[in-house]
């Protein structure tokens, strides 16, 4: 049986393209504190990073109080977004080194998308006026997916939109022809559940915690397109 070929790369954003995970944590921690909830760095990175604001706030609130409170979750999420905007207003989150070069090179060979639990406005702000602002055929953000990572819905949606975006690929791209680039445990779980191969970047977690990915690398500086294609040529021995 012929192995599938790599036809599309779907990027997480925070911690993969933009170096802003710490800023997100600080904004979320403050929003929670203002609402009477505490969140340590260890708790955030251990259980919640990779989720969107709603999922993260909801999970933390339920773990703390034992009940769901959609109105409170929404209030916390909106406050966190406002705090993040304030923290990045005067200094746009930097892109990781070599990101522009890698994305530019990849865009000449594959269809590219972003699938992130971050808000669309935050992502567009970080990419604005950069050389890769128009490199992605599809941008799926927290507002687009009803359920965030680790559920696979956001990656299913990104693939569906890649197949709809002009010029429409023929034949349609399959999940087994997609590669996801992630930095979080929830993101790896989401991508694998979507039946996509996943490369984890150790920009947020130590490499040993990312073993569920098909390949673990330090950053995009260390990623070559040949190494990504070899994952497909070898077949998936870790389904």
Domain with 106 in it: what CATH number? 3.40.50.1000
How far apart, in whole angstroms, are the C-alpha atoms of residue 157 and residue 131? 25
For residue 163, is it left (φ>0), alpha (ψ between -120 and 50) or beta? alpha
Neighbours of 111 (CB within 10 A): 22
Q: Is the pLDDT of residue 154 over 80?
A: yes
Average pLDDT over residues 201-218: 95
Give me the chain's average pLDDT, please. 91
Q: Is the pLDDT of residue 162 over 90?
A: yes
Residues 221 and 204 in one domain: yes
In the listed set 65, 88, 111, which residue is the last one of a domain according to the structure? Answer: 88
Residues 154 and 70 in one domain: no
Write out the residue range of the structural domain in which residue 102 sits: 8-19+93-233
> Is residue 2 assigned to a domain?
no
Give the DSSP per-residue string, 152-205: THHHHHHHHHHHHSSSPPSSPPPGGGEEEEE-SHHHHHHHHHTT-EEEEETTSS
Average pLDDT over residues 161-171: 96
Residues 136 and 189 in one domain: yes
44-76 pLDDT, tens per residue?
888 787 787 888 888 888 888 888 888 999 999
The residue ranking higher by pLDDT, 24 or 90, is: 24
Whose tokens are 């929003």? That residue is: 31
> Is residue 238 assigned to a domain?
no
Q: Angle 205-127-227 (CA atoms, 0-180°, nearest 5)?
A: 50
Domain count, the chain: 2
For the chain, the C-alpha Rg in angstroms (whole number) is 17
> Is residue 3 assigned to a domain?
no
């Amino acid at each position: 049986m012929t192995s599938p070929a790599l036809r599309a790369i779907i990027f997480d954003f925070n911690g993969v393209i933009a170096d802003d995970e710490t800023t997100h944590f600080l904004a979320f921690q403050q929003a929670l504190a203002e609402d009477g909830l505490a969140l340590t760095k260890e708790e955030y990175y251990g259980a919640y990073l990779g989720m969107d604001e709603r999922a993260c706030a909801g999970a933390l609130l339920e773990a703390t109080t034992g009940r769901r409170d959609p109105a409170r979750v929404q209030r916390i999420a909106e406050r966190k977004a406002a705090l993040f905007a304030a923290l990045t207003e005067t200094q746009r989150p930097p892109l990781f080194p070599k990101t522009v070069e890698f994305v530019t090179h990849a865009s000449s060979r594959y269809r590219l998308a972003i699938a992130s639990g971050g808000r669309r406005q935050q992502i567009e702000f970080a990419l604005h006026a950069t050389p890769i602002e128009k490199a992605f055929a599809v941008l799926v953000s927290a507002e687009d997916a009803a359920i965030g990572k680790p559920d696979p819905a956001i990656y299913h949606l990104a693939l569906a939109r890649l197949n709809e975006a002009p010029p429409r690929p023929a034949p349609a791209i399959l999940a087994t022809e997609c590669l996801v680039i992630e930095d979080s445990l929830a993101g790896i779980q989401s991508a694998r559940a979507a039946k996509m191969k996943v490369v984890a970047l150790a920009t947020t977690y130590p490499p040993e915690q990312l073993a569920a990915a098909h390949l673990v690398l330090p950053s995009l500086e260390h990623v070559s397109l040949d190494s990504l294609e070899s994952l497909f040529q070898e077949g998936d021995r870790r389904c």
